[in-house]
Amino acid sequence: MRIAATADLHFGKSSGGTLQALLSQIATAADVLVIAGDITDYGTADEGRAFAKDLAASIRIPVVAVLGNHDFEAGAEREIHQILVDQGVHVLDGDTCEVQGVGFAGVKGFAGGFGRRALGPWGEPIIKQFVHEAVNEALKLESALARLRTDKKIVLLHYAPIEATVEGEPREIYPYLGCSRLEEPLGRYSVTAVIHGHAHNGVPEGRTSTDVPVYNVALPLMRKLTPQQPFRILDV
């Protein structure tokens, strides 16, 4: 299977038609399209509907996606989720799907930082609530992976699970780009590859502590690195 991976499309109110060349290129290059969040720019249902219209005009291959933080901005994330599902997209939020014998597990993920500097649940209740959100996303991912029975498993996130793929961003914002709690389940379930976005100025790939490949496929990053083909192709 050839997987085309992208993220951070930031489809806005005036974006109609602007991604059709990209989507058409993907449709001829891959068997499956995965989108690692930030499909919309301001998280409105109108943006979701406009994107779904362009997707329908260009893509006939299966599509798997997670939402990103921008998709939550207007409080319409459930509506965007349903718009995409109605278009035939597999939208994952602690869920799984199987396409041509390859298993996909996905969550949005959350912030919190990496390694020994990751934020801990200590102090004010709001800090504990913040950390709880990161822990909950990691638990949802672990539960999804536990349900997959396929030999090949692709994890789809918006936030980064490792620090390596956010390098190049200002260090001050590293804690807001991902969380190493998302890395914890990856080595326990023989994951084939991890795909994420969010870090527009990061680097395109890294590896977890258990040597699972991680790919940052944010569209702004890919356009800088490979403008002729601004998406990642994975052969699995």
pLDDT band at 64 (very low <50, low <70, confident <90, very high): very high
Of 112, 108, 110, which is closest to residue 174 (Cα–Cα)? 112
The confidence score (pLDDT) of residue 229 equals: 96
- For β-strands 232-235 and 205-207, DSSP reports them as unpaired
- Residue that is written with structure tokens 């499309």 in the block: 9
The confidence score (pLDDT) of residue 76 equals: 98
The pair phi, psi for residue 155, each rounded to 5°, is: -100, 130
Question: Hey, what are 159's tokens?
Answer: 């936030």
CATH at residue 11: 3.60.21.10
The pTM (predicted TM-score) of the whole model is 0.97
Q: What mean pLDDT value characterizes the chain?
A: 97
What is the average per-residue pLDDT within 100-113?
A: 98
The confidence score (pLDDT) of residue 209 equals: 96
Residues of the domain holding 216: 2-235
The confidence score (pLDDT) of residue 50 equals: 96
Domain count within the chain: 1
Encode pLDDT of 146-166 as tens digits.
999 999 999 999 999 999 999
The confidence score (pLDDT) of residue 41 equals: 98
